[in-house]
């Protein structure tokens, strides 16, 4: 009877080592197939060698998809070989319907010649321009485009073009707002010059004409008593002319605004307005003991007050005006309220609100109007306080 030999048992430590190696190999394969590994370092007799894996560009694609700007790579004939998610969002088209299409398809027809010129330049050097891209529904998106040549690694030959596309809709909106504000400011300045010219003609011009006529009359006086009487009248006219001229130059730029601050300038202007128009003007200011305001902010609030009181004089038929000036933590607030005729906001073009709103908007502020027929008008301006 023969006995069977038993197979030698493999040590348990060897089994555990094999399992460990198998797990490591599986993990390496998983990392390679999912794109987590860009390259391998292989050791051999001649030293270490770095081998780049075929899917190593995955990390770069992830990076491009996280960009705030659109990105495309183009073939030499202008076909889109790759685009990121931001570019797809700009043209509002899924990436699957973009790849393989000519970039010219997404550019406004009137600008395709400019795109062609830009692509030709971008195939040899960096090139930039502003264009309008089209969305799938026919809309237009203003963009800033930058092109640069794409070269193969280790070669000077150009294999395509890389493009970066940035949506500049907000920039164009800001530029349009800036241009409109500049236009409005220029219009307001012209209106102010027109008002000054009218006052010079109607008041100062007439007073100077009266002085000239009076001086000629004195020359023809027959007695000293008659000449003295004429001279006294001319002195009164001259004094009134000086008052009018002083009011005019203070309206252009009151020195008290620089010397004593906004509160004193507002109070003085309100007092002069009350005297000139025979109205009761109640002024109250708070929080401005330590002024600390920028000259531009002071001038803006003062100009709004001027315009508001001018509107009261021209249109309101008021008996009393309340002026409230208050500085808060973040803004200066001016409120001008009258007990006059009032009007329906939006249905009357009498109030010169345009100039007030333009001035306030330039400093990030606002002007609000509350009024109704027979119930007076309240104008409230709020200007944010910034460092002087």
Residue of 366 and 388 predicted with greater confidence: 366
Say if residue 260 is in the same domain as residue 241.
Answer: no
Domain shared by 291 and 232, yes or no = no
Phi, psi values for residue 182, rounded to 5°: -60, -45
Select from 145, 167, 189 the last residue of a domain. Answer: 167
Structural domain count of the chain: 3
Higher pLDDT, 190 or 106: 106
Q: Answer for the pair 321, 280: CB distance below 8 angstroms, yes or no.
A: yes
- Asked which of 236, 252, 268 is the last residue of a domain, the reply is 252
**Dihedral in degrees, nearest 10, Cα atoms 359, 361, 364, 368:** 100
DSSP string, 211-280: HHHHHHHHHT-SSHHHHHHHHHHHHHHHHHHHHHHHHHHHHH--HHHHHT-HHHHHHHHHHHHHHHHT-E
Alpha carbons within 13 A on the beta-carbon side of 236: 5
pLDDT, greater one: 113 or 254: 113
**Within a domain: 49:** no
User: What's the average model confidence in pLDDT over 151-180?
Assistant: 82
How far apart are the C-alpha atoms of 186 and 194, rounded to whole Å? 12
What does pTM read for this prediction? 0.47
User: Are 177 and 158 found together in one domain?
Assistant: no
Residue 27 pLDDT more than 90? Answer: no
pLDDT at 32: 47
**Domain edge (last residue) among 237, 252, 267:** 252
Distance of alpha carbon 357 from alpha carbon 380, whole angstroms: 11
Whether residue 215 is predicted with pLDDT greater than 60 in this model: the reply is: yes
Residue 33 lies in a domain: no
Question: Could you read off the pLDDT of 32-72 as tens digits, one per residue?
Answer: 455 454 444 444 555 544 444 444 455 455 566 667 888 88
Instruction: Determine how β-strand 320-327 pairs with β-strand 280-286.
Output: parallel
Indicate whether 328 belongs to any domain. yes
pLDDT at position 266:
92
Tell whether the model's pLDDT for residue 4 goes beyond 80.
Answer: no
The pLDDT score that the predictor gives to residue 52 is 44
Check residue 39 and give its pLDDT.
47
Average per-residue pLDDT for the chain:
80
- Regarding whether 149 and 108 lie in a shared domain, the answer is yes
Q: Are residues 187 and 109 in the same domain?
A: no
Q: Summarize pLDDT for 258-311 with one digit per residue, the tens.
A: 788 899 989 999 998 999 899 999 999 998 877 788 888 988 999 899 889 988
């Amino acid at each position: 009877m023969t006995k069977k030999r038993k197979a030698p048992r493999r040590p348990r430590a060897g089994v555990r080592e094999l399992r460990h190696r198998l797990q490591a190999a599986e993990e390496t394969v998983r990392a390679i197939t999912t794109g987590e590994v860009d390259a391998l370092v292989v050791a051999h007799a001649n030293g270490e060698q770095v081998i780049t894996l075929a899917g190593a560009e995955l990390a770069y694609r992830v990076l491009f998809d996280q960009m705030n700007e659109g990105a495309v790579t183009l073939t030499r004939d202008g076909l889109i070989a790759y685009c990121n998610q931001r570019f797809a969002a700009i043209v509002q088209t899924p990436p699957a319907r973009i790849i393989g299409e000519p970039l010219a398809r997404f550019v406004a027809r009137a600008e395709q010649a400019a795109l062609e010129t830009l692509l030709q330049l971008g195939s040899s050097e960096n090139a930039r321009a502003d264009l309008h891209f089209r969305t799938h529904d026919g809309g237009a998106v203003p963009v800033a485009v930058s092109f640069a040549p794409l070269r193969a690694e280790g070669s000077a030959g150009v294999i395509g073009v890389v493009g970066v596309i940035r949506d500049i809709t907000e920039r164009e909106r800001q530029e349009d707002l800036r241009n409109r504000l500049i236009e409005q400011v220029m219009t307001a300045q012209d209106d102010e010059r027109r008002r000054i010219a009218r006052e010079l003609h109607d008041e100062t011009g007439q007073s100077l004409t009266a002085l000239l006529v009076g001086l000629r009359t004195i020359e023809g006086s027959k007695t000293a008593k008659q000449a003295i009487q004429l001279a006294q009248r001319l002195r009164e006219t001259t004094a009134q002319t000086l008052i009018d001229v002083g009011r005019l130059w203070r309206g252009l730029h009151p020195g008290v605004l620089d010397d004593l601050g906004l509160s004193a300038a507002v109070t003085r202007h309100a007092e002069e307005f009350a005297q000139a128009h025979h109205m009761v003007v109640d002024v109250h200011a708070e929080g401005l003991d330590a002024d600390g305001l920028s000259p531009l902010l002071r001038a803006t609030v003062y100009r709004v007050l001027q315009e508001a009181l001018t509107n009261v004089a021209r249109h309101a038929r008021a008996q009393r005006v309340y002026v409230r000036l208050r500085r808060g933590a973040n803004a200066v607030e001016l409120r001008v309220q009258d007990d006059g005729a009032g009007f329906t906001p939006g249905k009357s073009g009498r109030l010169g609100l345009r100039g007030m709103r333009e001035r306030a908007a330039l400093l990030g502020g606002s002007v609000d109007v509350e009024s109704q027929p027979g119930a007076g008008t309240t104008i409230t301006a709020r200007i944010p306080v910034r460092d002087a």
